């Protein structure tokens, strides 16, 4: 029992719904990027982030508001992703548990570099040849299917996949070069 002179230790006030939404809104884009590093399908990743929001709120009483929100949210998102992969494993047995942990750890370590690379993406996109920009725009921005792109550009499906891969390669090389040029 506490003596009358001992300090009163009170639990932190619960996080209000509004505060939670504000915190979540802050981390949501990063969570989505994070989830997409393991589950590249946008629709799946988006659903998973929604589920993460619900899971976070449902376990809000376990969150200590004196600690940063982001790592906690990321951990819950990772758990959601694990569950998803377990369910999906029959069809798409991607990364094993050990690999997931490695990706998580490495992603945290690599975060500053990935952030810096993103800063140059706009520039690197503008330097792509027109044909590659058309591909990126069609595939990612307009969400055109590979088949539709192939038909529109009068090329085979496999050729479009290869061209997209080369485009991502080119972008990645450009981002690396830009990063090396940074002071």
Please identify which residue in 22, 68, 86, 159 interacts with other proteins, judged by CB under 8 A.
22
Binding other proteins (rule: CB under 8 A), the pick from 1, 2, 10, 98 is: 98
Stretch in the footprint of other proteins (CB under 8 A) among 3-11, 19-27, 63-71, 72-80: 19-27
- Restricted to residues 117-136, the positions that interact with other proteins (CB under 8 A) are 117-118, 121-122, 125-126, 130-131, 133-134, 136
Q: Which of residues 156-175 bind other proteins (CB under 8 A)?
A: 161, 164-166, 168-172, 175
59 burial (CB, 10 Å; 0-12 / 13-18 / 19+) is exposed
Interface residue with other proteins among 65, 82, 146, 178 (CB under 8 A) is 146
92 touches other proteins by CB under 8 A: yes
| Minimum distance of other proteins from residue 80's CB (angstroms) | 13
Q: Indicate the residue among 67 and 152 with the shorter CB distance to other proteins.
A: 152
Q: How far is the CB of 70 from other proteins (least distance, A)?
A: 14
d(CA 177, CA 33): 23
The Cα 85–Cα 150 span in angstroms is: 31
């Amino acid at each position: 029992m506490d003596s009358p002179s001992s300090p009163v230790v009170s639990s932190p006030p619960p996080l209000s719904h509004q505060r939670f939404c504000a915190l979540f809104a802050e981390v949501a884009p990063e969570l989505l990027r994070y989830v997409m590093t393991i589950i590249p399908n946008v629709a799946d990743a988006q659903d998973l982030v929604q589920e993460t929001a619900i899971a976070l709120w449902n376990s809000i009483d376990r969150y200590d508001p004196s600690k940063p929100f982001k790592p906690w949210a990321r951990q819950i998102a990772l758990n959601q992703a694990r569950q998803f992969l377990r369910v999906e494993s029959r069809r798409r047995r991607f990364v094993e548990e050990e690999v997931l942990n490695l990706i998580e750890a490495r992603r945290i370590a690599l975060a500053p570099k990935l952030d810096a690379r993103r800063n140059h993406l706009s520039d690197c996109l503008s330097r792509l040849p027109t044909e590659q920009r058309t591909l990126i725009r069609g595939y990612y921005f307009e969400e055109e299917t590979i088949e539709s792109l192939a038909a529109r550009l009068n090329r085979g499906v496999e050729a479009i996949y290869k061209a997209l891969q080369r485009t991502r390669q080119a972008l990645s090389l450009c981002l690396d070069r830009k990063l090396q040029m940074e002071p």
